[in-house]
Amino acid sequence: MAQRPVYVERDLKEVTIKPKRQRYRRKGNPAVELMQKVIDAKGEHHLETNPFYSYYRYQRITTGLNNITREMADSLKILNATVLKYQVEYCPQTGKYILPMHYMEEVTHHLYRRSPKTDRDYVLGTNSEGITDLMPIGDNINTVIATMFTDVNIYDDVIELLERRFASPLSRFSALRFYHYFIDDTVMVDNHSAIQVSFVPQNSQDFGFSGRIWILNDSTYRVHKCLVYFPMKTAVNYITNLVVEQRFTDLPNGQRVLLTDDLFAELGILKGQRMAFVHRATNYTGISLDSIPAQSFNHSDQLREGTTNNEDSTFWAQHRIDTLTKAENNLGNMVSAWQNRKGSGAVMYLTRTIINNTFETSLKLNESYVDIGPVMSMFSNNFIDGFRIRMGAQTTAKLHPHLFAKGYAAYGTRSHNWYGMAELEYSFLRKQLSTYEFPRHSITAQFQKDVFSPSDMMWQHGRDKDNVWTSFKTQEVDHMLFQRNALLRYEVETNNHMGFKLQFKQSKITPCGSLVYKTLSKQNIPYLNTSEILFSWRWAPGEKILATKQRRNVVDHNHPIFAFAHTLGLKDVLGSDYHYNVSELTAFYRLWLNSYGRIDFNLRGAVQWNQVPFPLLLMPVANNSYIITRDMFCMINNMEFINDRYLSFQAEWNLNGKLLNRIPLISRLKWREVLGFKALYGYLSDKNNPDLHPGSSRLYQFPTRDGATIVHPMNEVPYMEANIGLHNIFKFLRIDYVYRINYHHFPGVKKHGVRFCILFDF
């Protein structure tokens, strides 16, 4: 008698099906024809076609350690710590054990009106638990995570994720060229008959997705569900696995809208590592097409409705779509237990010192009344002082949430000069940590006496001229000046990131080093006095700010920035020597080119309207250090060009490895290419040209070195420089080669240069 076969049921973690290799064709491909119909039909499902719509959005982002094995548990002594032992839980997305360390959740109410077109997102409540509560920048970490792992909708033409833009598999513009599609089968999904379509990017190392889409098999070409993930050979850094699952539902009018958006990402520094995870779960409820009263749109974006308590358990019981896991519920106890562990305070103090660039005067979180720093500015070097020592301090919101003081004292070992700065700022808004928190509404008084180079005045974005890294110059900067400043500033920002500044400053500027002030009538001028009023306006719609104890950083550069400033010099006010007017306009814009990366544009123009000596004319925004800095020229020497009006244009194209990823062997390095071009066109009008006013007592002789002038008015040809660079070297280093295209005949100029910076990028 034949023995009956024995069947053993086994769970397979992953099955990869590789079709027979054959040439992919778009023409006559039924999968391409189907997807074209889906793309053509998606316009019918845009909610923006309705006069009104609204919905509630609940989102929770959980982060923690991933792939907890017995070896990892032993090395971290997880099983010996009771509070951590019960934090480890099974993850159904990966089939592994994870250790949740933090979660944040938010409920918003979104309102839309088509005419006039208006969008509003009102935050109803936020909540956060976990390890970031141990850090003063916990809110900043939450902002970074939420910005990197933004909401996804496959119906969009472009999917923004990790501060990048990916071509959607349903993009009207590029999907059929960027992706390859394959019809797998007709299957039942949630009691619906659906056509399952797989897709992969044409080049797996491009910034694109792989996945599957289930299209309702009812001739409406509506998407019922999708599963999106990164290809195995993706060029994205630090993400070893990413899966997005979305489900859609029908509205009464037949439109198909997103119901759930579930993202799970595994992260690791090295290839194959899965050290951490991010899980973002988003649910949309209460979707309505009813009309919305006009007064509901009168408030500013991100305004909190009502007085909802962020930690109100009743509120969260009502608005949480799903319940917290056991580990998420226990995060508060985990934080308390960590704080009570021996040595944890020192570890967190060292972490805060590195992040904040300051020494706090308390080991406990948010208990420091005064911070010492910045650490990276304690030692520096310049031509006048040689080795320079500086000690600074600033108060925190713990001492007073409205009143902040800061200052420094510095000593030059060669010059034996002492310098210093003292500042007092009163914030009309209560601050949690520092004055740099958004929004800002304050009045500031400051007194400063220090030594500068003219190029130091050009540093943007609040950079410190004494930073140790910028002390290393590409040339000898010996034309320096002592400056004594006293200023009073009023600053206010609105919720839509529009800012205004009104400032009065009085300065005494004394040349030093190789710099002298001498009129065309051969009279030496010991110093120059100025008194001026500055008015500035800045608008950055959609901008996201990270505020540290030292400065602000922009976390998302995908939004335009516009700024205007006008300075009025007041002659005879507090001894001021000149009357003048300076107007300046700047703009920034980022253009995405789908899989071909992005181009950043910077445009800047300025005019000095009056007759003034060269210290009050306009100099290029030049960077004389080896550090790459956005929107600054690399190869222009200190004070090389002086104009009374100029226009500069800068463009940088980051191709994200589009070319290098197609070169055998080189593609394994995952390097990414950058191309840049910068141009400056300036003009010195007759009234400010010393050559046309011999013997004038109003104008000064241009600075010289070895009897030759170092300042040059520009001719009709703009100055130009270009750079080609590689970044993502070892996943953190960028190196640029810079070439000066013209104006080679000036003495002391360099045609070639190398610049670098530390850059972490997904």
Q: At residue 132, does pLDDT exceed 80?
A: no
| Mean pLDDT in residue range 79-101 | 74
Looking at per-residue pLDDT, the higher value among 446 and 640 belongs to 446
3-class DSSP assignment, residue 713: coil
Q: At residue 272, does pLDDT exceed 70?
A: no
Looking at per-residue pLDDT, the higher value among 148 and 114 belongs to 114
Looking at per-residue pLDDT, the higher value among 642 and 142 belongs to 642
**Residue located via tokens 């002298």:** 516
Return the ∠ at Cα 455 (arms to 453 and 460), rounded to 5°.
Answer: 125
Check residue 404 and give its pLDDT: 96
Query: What's the chain's average pLDDT?
Result: 85
687-722 pLDDT tens trace: 999 989 988 889 999 998 877 888 888 888 999 999
Angle, to 10 degrees, between the axis of helix 331-340 and the axis of helix 344-356?
A: 100
The token pair that represents 739 in the structure block: 């070439």
Question: What is the residue-wise DSSP string for 228-241?
Answer: EE--TT---SSEEE
3-state secondary structure labels for all residues of 1-46: CCCCCCCCCCCCCCCCCCCCCCCCCCCCCHHHHHHHHHHHHHHHHC
Check residue 16 and give its pLDDT: 46
Cα 340 to its chain centre, rounded Å, is 35
- CA 509 – CA 477 distance, rounded (Å): 17
Least confident of 9-13, 101-105, 287-291: 9-13
What backbone torsions phi and psi does residue 80 show, to the nearest 5 degrees? Answer: -85, -20
528-544 pLDDT tens trace: 999 999 999 999 988 88
Check residue 538 and give its pLDDT: 96
The token pair that represents 464 in the structure block: 């410190």
User: Given CA atoms 290, 296, 298, 300 in this order, what sign does their dihedral have?
Assistant: negative
Q: At residue 233, does pLDDT exceed 90?
A: no
What confidence tier does 300 reach under pLDDT thresholds 50, 70, 90?
low
Instruction: Report percent pLDDT > 90 for the chain.
Output: 37
What confidence tier does 401 reach under pLDDT thresholds 50, 70, 90?
very high
Check residue 457 and give its pLDDT: 67
Check residue 162 and give its pLDDT: 81
Q: At residue 306, does pLDDT exceed 50?
A: no
| Mean pLDDT in residue range 339-366 | 80
Cα 186 to its chain centre, rounded Å, is 44
Looking at per-residue pLDDT, the higher value among 59 and 338 belongs to 59
**Residue located via tokens 């997005």:** 244
378-397 pLDDT tens trace: 999 999 999 999 999 999 99
What backbone torsions phi and psi does residue 30 show, to the nearest 5 degrees? Answer: -60, -30
Least confident of 407-411, 461-465, 627-631, 685-689: 461-465
Q: At residue 458, does pLDDT exceed 80?
A: no
167-184 pLDDT tens trace: 889 988 888 888 999 999
Check residue 309 and give its pLDDT: 45
| Residue ranges of domains in the chain, CATH in brackets | 30-337 (no CATH), 436-758 (2.40.160)
Looking at per-residue pLDDT, the higher value among 84 and 141 belongs to 141
Q: Which residues pair with 257 in a beta bridge?
A: 249
Question: Does an H or E element contain 257, and which?
Answer: strand 256-267
Pure H helices in 44-203: 70-75, 82-85, 138-148, 175-178
- CA 220 – CA 555 distance, rounded (Å): 40
Of 473, 471, 467, 470, nearest to 376 by C-alpha is 467
The reported pTM is 0.83
DSSP state of 119: E
Q: At residue 1, does pLDDT exceed 70?
A: no
Least confident of 246-255, 328-337, 674-683, 690-699: 328-337
Q: At residue 376, does pLDDT exceed 80?
A: yes
Check residue 305 and give its pLDDT: 37
What confidence tier does 461 reach under pLDDT thresholds 50, 70, 90?
very low
Q: At residue 93, does pLDDT exceed 80?
A: no
Residue 729 contacts residue 735 (beta carbons within 8 Å):
yes
